[in-house]
Amino acid sequence: MALHVPGGPITLDDVPRLRALGDVVELLAVATPLYVRFSAGPLADSSAESRDHESGCLLPGLSVNPLDPEPWWDRPVEHWVARQLCQYAHLMTPERFPWALTGDVAGRGPDCEPLLVATVPLASIDATVVSEAAALYPRVFDAGNDGT
């Protein structure tokens, strides 16, 4: 599902490595829609089927999460990006890391997440960005408040 260009698919070696939360916000200013995926990377994703782990159903695209804030978001973009990264940081393992991509939405997954096809990797996201997001999150959000 990686973009194929003369000479082969685009890999994370071909795109910038974002090392700060501000770098992700800057990328959003020039590339939208922008999504994040936690996986072994675009090359691994291009040869794997996406499946819902609970049902076993084949998904019509890669499961991703939006980095573009919703129109109703009235806070800094940095806060949205931090929240999105923190909500899915549990998916990060030594074999899985976050990377930024764009593509076409082909449907929604079981958690209502976008499923992308025709994906184009735009950047890798360093673990330090997730750490920075995790440090910001409790300062700007009422983490764990479920409204009760």
Count of structural domains within the chain: 1
Q: What is the DSSP letter of 58?
A: B
Question: Residue 147 falls within a domain, yes or no?
Answer: no
145 domain residue, yes or no? no
What pLDDT score does 131 carry? Answer: 97
Q: What is the pLDDT of residue 146?
A: 75
20, part of any domain: yes
d(CA 111, CA 117): 17
Place of tokens 């700007």: 140
Q: Specify the amino acid at residue 82.
A: A
pTM above 0.85, yes or no: yes
**Percent of residues in the chain assigned helix, strand, coil, to nearest 5:** 30, 30, 40
For 100, the token pair is 């930024």
Task: Decide: helix, strand or coil at residue 126.
Answer: coil
> Does residue 79 lie within any of the structural domains?
yes
Query: Is residue 146, in this structure, part of any structural domain at all?
Result: no
> How many Cβ atoms are within 10 Å of 14's Cβ, its own excluded?
14
In Å, how far are 26, 98, 100, 120 from 12, measured between CA atoms? 18, 11, 10, 10
Evaluate whether residue 148 is within a structural domain: no
Range of the domain at 84: 4-140
Q: How confident is the model at residue 6 (pLDDT cuts 50, 70, 90)?
A: very low
Q: Does residue 12 register a pLDDT over 80?
A: no
pLDDT at 7: 52
pLDDT tens digit sequence for 65-122: 999 999 999 999 999 999 999 998 998 998 999 999 999 999 999 999 999 999 999 9
How confident is the model over 41-68, as pLDDT tens digits?
988 888 777 889 899 999 999 999 999 9
